[in-house]
Amino acid sequence: MQEPPRRTGFGGPKLIRLLARLTDADVPASPLSPPDKLGGWLAWTDAIALSGALSGAPVAATPVLPAAYSAEERECARVKTALENAITGKSAASARAQAGPRGQRRAPAQPEVQAAELVQYATHRQRYSTLQQTMETNIGGLRRRLRGVLAASSPALNRLAVVDAAMEQALGARERTLLAGIPGLLEPHFDRVRRAGQVAAGPEPDVAPDVALSVANAAAAAEAQGSDPKKAVGKPMFTVGPWLDVFRQDMQSVLLAELEIRLEPIEALLEALRGG
């Protein structure tokens, strides 16, 4: 099956490069530097909180044994693996059982869905959003846990924990809003891959080309008007085929790239613990 053209040559983080390649969105380079863009995201109340975190007096800390660092690294690796398994579908039962400690959101099972649902984007949007919620809950728990260990390690690391908490408070809402828009960005790509797959498959042997075109047009019109395409025609417009595997692989790549971005604060806090 021939895939639709994909954009190349776009710089930035892996997630941004993937989205630029899979979508038709024209993303011009920002004239602002990263510090300038970050400053535009912070309200004056956030600036006050960050200033207080940076200028506050260090708090006395009780040294933490190296074994505690190893335990935190193992916990972070375990949750990362469980989230990766949930995204890729590997060891799904194990991932659901091990996604997080008690009180955290467990990795979602991949629901059993019918073929008619798989050819509709709503099914994939729901799965993407569910995995986003799982990542946010479990990674947020790890971040708070690491801050607690940092705060107990040394005055300098305690200050880092306070600054990290202030940054999460200041930028968390904007981050959630931006990431929540990703499923919507993938919908046009889903439509292109689905149409290309249907064209490659051609009409079914017992359906004449003009009849197949009429069925497709009727279903498309019903979908555009917000009604159920399956009720407008006797048979669904699209069928499951190799195109679905193409889209699933693309969505999986985007989810894994998003996971990398969400884990960056975790990696930074772990590195601070390692350095002591």
What confidence score (pLDDT) does residue 203 get?
57
Mean per-residue pLDDT pooled into runs of 10, the chain (276 residues) = 48 84 70 63 65 62 61 93 94 49 52 74 95 97 94 87 90 92 95 86 48 45 53 57 92 97 95 82
pLDDT per residue over 69-115, tens digit each?
A: 788 999 999 999 999 999 998 865 444 444 455 445 555 555 556 77
Residues in contact with 247: Cβ distance below 8 Å, sequence separation at least 6, in sequence order: 124, 189, 190, 193, 194
What confidence score (pLDDT) does residue 215 get?
42
The alpha carbon of residue 129 and the mean position of all alpha carbons in its chain are separated, in whole angstroms, by 8
pLDDT per residue over 1-26, tens digit each?
A: 444 444 444 456 899 899 999 987 66
| Domain layout of the chain by residue ranges | 43-114+122-179+253-275, 187-244
What confidence score (pLDDT) does residue 202 get?
65
> Residue 252: which of 42, 71, 84, 45 has the closest Cα?
84
Using only C-alpha atoms, the chain has a radius of gyration, in whole angstroms, of 23
> Residue 230: which of 251, 216, 246 has the closest Cα?
216
Asked whether the whole model's pTM tops 0.85, one would answer no
What confidence score (pLDDT) does residue 118 get?
85
